[in-house]
Amino acid sequence: MKLTRREWHKLTLSGLVSAAFVSITPRGAAGKSKAINSRFRGVQIGAQSYSFRDRSLDDMLKGMVEARIGSCELWTGHLEPTGLERRSWEAKSDAERNRAREELRRYFAKLSTNDIKAVRAKFARAGVDIYALNYSMRDDFTDAEMERGFEMARILGAKVMTSSSNVSTVKRIDGFARKHRMRVGMHNHSNNGDPNEFATPDSFKRAMQGASPYIAINLDIGHFTAANWDAADFIRRHHDRIVTLHIKDRKRNQGDNVPFGQGDTPIKEVLTLLRDNKWPIPANIEYEYEGSDTIAEMKRCLAHCKGALES
């Protein structure tokens, strides 16, 4: 089942506390499952939880366990209450959008430390590591919102953050990143025409110029390919600034998302680069093409990555 980010928010969920905290049966004396190993030939294959956007947090975790993927980049859409982000996107006026954004700000501000720790414990029980928190800080984010994102990442035990940000926002993000000593990978899309969006090698260059090493890259190799850039070459030149990759397959020239192996994205070349150079960059599957069942498609994506690494 393929849903857009907007469609995700149309699902009727029961909210963070009531739905997301439904327990997965603990295992072992400490209530933890044995960690799921999805590392192949030294390369950590994980998942962007947006791949499971048709499921609640609880069901997303069950899907990770069933697919046997042990590392997660946690999308905040799995932490947000139903409707807030959707209303902000679909607003017909600036006033309506601002109201939805303010409600979302209040929600995250009031989210308790115990609630966030409960999410972390839930991952531990499932045997899935939260490698990154995907918290997209853009120009309309307040300083308090940025601070809260870093706080949540720390409580969750995330090693890094990823962010679909504006180039102009990076200087502000850098201040919080240095304060919290946490690297933030800027995520690219394929919209080459907007200089304030991450899409081109130059956009990354401009953003990182004068920034601390805490400003890093979350390279989406599918979007990069669709924008007609060379993902493998970019990784060779900038691997030391890349904290995560998003693995998807797209056609060039702004082409569609397609099943792994059917597009122009150099998935195998990229994964073998990580393997052969022993670069410690997690490769996170982001399932966005038109498929059948999400878990079945995630299993296919994982098998494709494993096959590329073991060939």
* Domain CATH code at residue 163: 3.20.20.150
pLDDT at residue 17 in the model: 37
> How many Å apart are CA 159 and CA 147, to the nearest integer?
16
- The domain total for the chain is 1
pLDDT at residue 33 in the model: 74
pLDDT at residue 288 in the model: 96
Instruction: Give the E-state strand segments of the chain in sequence order.
Output: 39-40, 43-48, 71-75, 129-134, 160-163, 184-187, 215-220, 242-247, 249-250, 257-258, 283-285
Q: In the structure encoding, which two tokens stand for residue 36, read together?
A: 């799921």
| Domain assignment of residue 217, given as a range | 5-310
pLDDT at residue 260 in the model: 98
Please report, in tens digits, the pLDDT of each residue of the chain (311 residues total).
Answer: 444 444 444 443 333 433 333 334 444 444 577 999 999 999 999 999 999 999 999 999 999 999 999 999 999 989 987 667 666 767 789 898 888 888 888 999 999 999 999 999 999 999 999 999 999 999 999 999 999 999 999 999 999 999 999 999 999 999 999 999 999 999 999 988 899 999 999 999 999 999 999 999 999 999 999 999 999 999 999 999 999 999 999 999 999 999 999 999 999 999 999 999 999 999 999 999 999 899 999 999 999 999 999 99
> How many Å apart are CA 262 and CA 272, to the nearest integer?
18
pLDDT at residue 104 in the model: 86
> How many Å apart are CA 154 and CA 163, to the nearest integer?
15
